[in-house]
Amino acid sequence: MRKNSIAVITTLTIILLGVFNSTVKAPVGWKAYYYRLKICFINKGSGSYTPTLEDRLFLIFPNTSIQKTYIYEVEPSVKRVFTDEDGNLLAELDFPETIKPGGNITVRIIVMVNLTFRSLPEISVNSSGSFSDIPATLAHYTVSSGAWRYRDEGLKHIAELAAEIKGNDTNLLRVVCKMVEFIGERVSYPEGEELRPPQYPNQTLPSTGETGRGDCDDQSALLIAMLRSVGIPAYLQTGGVVSPFYSVSGETWGGHLTVVSKGIGWHGWVEAYIPPWGWLPVDITYGYYSRRRDPLSSIKYSASARELMLESERYSSIDFVAEYLKTRERIVGSSIFIRMEEEVSETPFPDKGSQQVEQPEENMVPSTLFLPILAASIVTLTIFILLKRAPPRFKGRIV
């Protein structure tokens, strides 16, 4: 196993992580940003704490057609690279085996990201495709899995509502619009509760006749369950709107977790497959609200299309709600206390002279080079999930 791991690491070093000695400049029409993450694990107990794999993992921001990522500094060093079951790229850091009583481990990461705006096609209900136009290869985006198990007893009412809303309509975009309108009317945003945990769809909308409450990823998970149950491919995409107006800080998990975030507002939205256009963002809490009641605005005015967005992880089959709750329970029941600080700036952060490392181009490296893993990074379950609380249009909200 060790020899196997070394071979994979060597291959990744040579092929995947091409080291550049020159400064990378943002192409014309793109903008360069610097993301800095500092995480401190402090053991306040009387016994040693053994870091788990989840503690040692961090997300490598993906390379896409609108985003190019370069790692400037990582401390401790990267030990191995994984992909999870949804294709997110994760790096395992070389932590010590234990944290002694009163001791700590500090993680420092600096990333440069070149970003440009996402361009959406012109869309209209009259031009939309039908259910028969959905490729059979996307069937796995319609299954009852992850946080949207619509076949489970507790979520059956959501699938029944979706079937009722769809009726005999075969126009995909119109069906999506109907569901956006339904959620917009029935689910309100929980103001002032930014550090609340994520919810399952049946917690956001407990029963057929009730109204519900849920933030961006909660409402997105509800919409995904509804879309999938009628056969429309959908998954949850997360990312952060880059802006100096954002500043969020707070303490949660019984004091075991402190988060400080500057310059980025984390968000979650639906990516739905709608022929003939393909994958489109559907963003209820940003694009569709009280003063903008055209359901098409959830696409046309989505944060993904209107803002410079640092895309992070996507969820298709992972139950991110269960992973979050499991991690919270584990940390609260331990002697470990975590402080996470993140900041995004247009100005480079001082580093220690480490070499610059470019991440793989979109779809460049076959997935067989990576080690598949069934684990979630504690960073993605805290910063990227916990801080996706306020719709990005509410700039400057401070917790």
Task: Tell whether 206 is covered by a domain.
Answer: yes
| Tens-digit pLDDT profile for residues 175-208 | 999 999 999 999 998 877 666 789 999 999 998 8
- Residue 136 sits in the same domain as residue 268: yes
Mark whether 108 and 192 lie in a shared domain. Answer: no
Question: Residues 147-163, buried b or exposed e (16+ Cβ, 10 A)?
Answer: bbbbeeeebebbbebbe
Structural domain count, the chain: 2
223 close to 232: Cβ distance less than 8 angstroms: no
Given a contact cutoff of 8 angstroms between Cβ atoms, the answer to whether 177 and 350 are in contact is no
> For residue 308, what is the domain's CATH number?
3.10.620
Rounded distance, CA 113 to CA 70, Å? 6
Residues 270, 335, single domain; the answer is no
In a domain, 397, yes or no: no
SS (H, E, C) the chain: CHHHHHHHHHHHHHHHCCEECCCCCCCCCCEEEEEEEEEEEEECCCCCECCCHHHHEEECCCCECCEEEEEEEEECCEEEEEEECCCCEEEEECCCCCECCCCEEEEEEEEEEEECCCCCCCCCHHHCCEHHHCCHHHHHHCCCECCECCCCHHHHHHHHHHHHHHCCCCEHHHHHHHHHHHHHHHEECCCCCCCCCCCCHHHHCCCCCCCEECCHHHHHHHHHHHHHHCCCCEEEEEEEEEEEEEEEEEEEHHHCEEEEEEEEEEEEEEEEEECCCEEEEECHHHHCECCECCCCHHHHCCHHHHCCEEEEEEECCCCHHHHHHHHHHHHHCCCEEEEEEEEEECCCCCCCCCCEEECCCCCCCCHHHCEEECCCCHHHHHHHHHCCCCCCCCCCCCC
Q: Residue 210 pairs with which residues in a beta bridge?
A: none
Q: Domain span at residue 355?
A: 31-117+321-386
Task: Please tell me whether residues 35 and 159 are part of one structural domain.
Answer: no
With respect to residue 14, please indicate whether it lies within any of the assigned structural domains: no
At 28 the pLDDT is: 78
Whole-model pTM? 0.86
For residues 56 and 100, state if they share a domain: yes
- 10-residue mean pLDDT profile of the chain (399 residues): values are 35 33 64 95 97 92 92 90 90 94 96 95 97 98 97 96 97 98 92 80 92 93 98 96 89 92 93 98 85 87 94 94 93 96 90 47 38 54 56 32
How many Cα neighbours within 13 Å face the side chain of 265? 24
Q: Are residues 45 and 156 in the same domain?
A: no
What Å distances lie between residue 20 and 24, 72, 176, CA to CA?
Answer: 8, 10, 45
Same domain, 186 and 288: yes
8 occurs within a structural domain:
no
Please state whether 253 falls in left (phi above 0), alpha (psi between -120 and 50) or beta: left
Looking at the domain assignment, is residue 312 inside a domain?
Answer: yes
| Predicted pLDDT of residue 373 | 44
* Residues 238 and 153 placed together within one structural domain of the fold: yes
Are 39 and 90 part of one and the same domain?
Answer: yes
**159, amino acid identity:** A
Q: Residue 10 has what pLDDT? A: 31
Of 273, 288, 319, the one marking the end of a domain is 319
Do 338 and 236 sit in the same domain of this protein?
Answer: no
- Evaluate whether residue 36 is within a structural domain: yes
User: Same domain for 335 and 379?
Assistant: yes
Four-CA torsion 146, 205, 282, 236, nearest 10 degrees: -20
Q: Are residues 163 and 200 in the same domain?
A: yes
The maximal CA–CA distance of the chain, rounded, in angstroms, is 67
Instruction: Give the end-to-end CA distance of the chain in Å, rounded to a whole number.
Output: 46
User: Considering the domain boundaries, does residue 69 fall inside one?
Assistant: yes
19 is a domain residue? no
- Look at residue 33 in the predicted model and tell me its pLDDT: 96
144-160: pLDDT as tens digits: 999 999 999 999 999 99
Strands 257-274 and 336-345: parallel
